[in-house]
Amino acid sequence: MNQKNINKARKSIKYGKFKSSEPLLIVLMGLPGTGKSYLSDYLNKKYSFTILSGENITYSIFGTEKCSGSQFKEAYEILHYLAVELLKKKNNIVIDGTNLKYEFRRQIYKTANNLSKKVLIYLYTSDATALKRANSRGEDYNDSKMILSKCSPETFQEFTRQLESPNKHEAHFKIKSDDKLFENIDSIIKNILKE
């Protein structure tokens, strides 16, 4: 891996303030506009999770969140590298990305190995709501820790075709992205932290 790109990617991390004796890794999954970045921000503010965003890392390294296959592969290798680094330092982490393919999620779980508890949060809403949300937020590339980009209907449909639902081997929760989202996530976090 390119050390210069790792250093660029580090600048996109939104750090939590607190460490945990047993770190928790939350992997977010969902189509564009289902509230993943919204939920990441909540987890950062309320529970001090450190946010690793695939989109933000890709933008920090390559100057765009839309990249070639080899660039995408490098960005996600760096994301995994940073996840291990942060978990070893006892940070709770939320990975903000579509994470639609099981193979991508499996690689994240394998990367975290025995460094943390792991859970997948699968956010969903109607396609019409998700697409409306994804395109109402506008575009903002001024802050590498909070990249906002639009999603065309064609791109959204491509994401929909790639979606692979969680399987029986994945510890996961499927949550509707609605006005009870934060209430539901609070309940899940409290239960996980009790274990």
Q: Which domain holds residue 173?
A: 3-194
Q: In DSSP terms, which residues pair with 24 in a beta bridge?
A: 117
CB atoms within 10 A of CB 52: 27
Tens-place pLDDT, residues 60-90 = 998 876 777 888 889 989 999 999 999 999 9
User: Which H or E run includes 87?
Assistant: helix 69-88
**What is the count of structural domains for the chain?**
1
Tens-place pLDDT, residues 119-161 = 999 999 998 888 887 777 655 545 555 545 667 788 888 889 9
Count of alpha carbons within 13 Å of 31, Cβ hemisphere only? 29
User: Cα–Cα distance between 45 and 28 in angstroms, integer?
Assistant: 16
Contact between residue 193 and residue 47 where contact means Cβ atoms under 8 Å apart: no
User: Cα–Cα distance between 193 and 195 in angstroms, integer?
Assistant: 6
CATH of the domain at 176: 3.40.50.300
User: Cα–Cα distance between 110 and 161 in angstroms, integer?
Assistant: 25
Query: What number is the average pLDDT over the span 25-50?
Result: 95
Q: Of all residues in the chain, what percent carry a pLDDT higher than 70?
A: 91
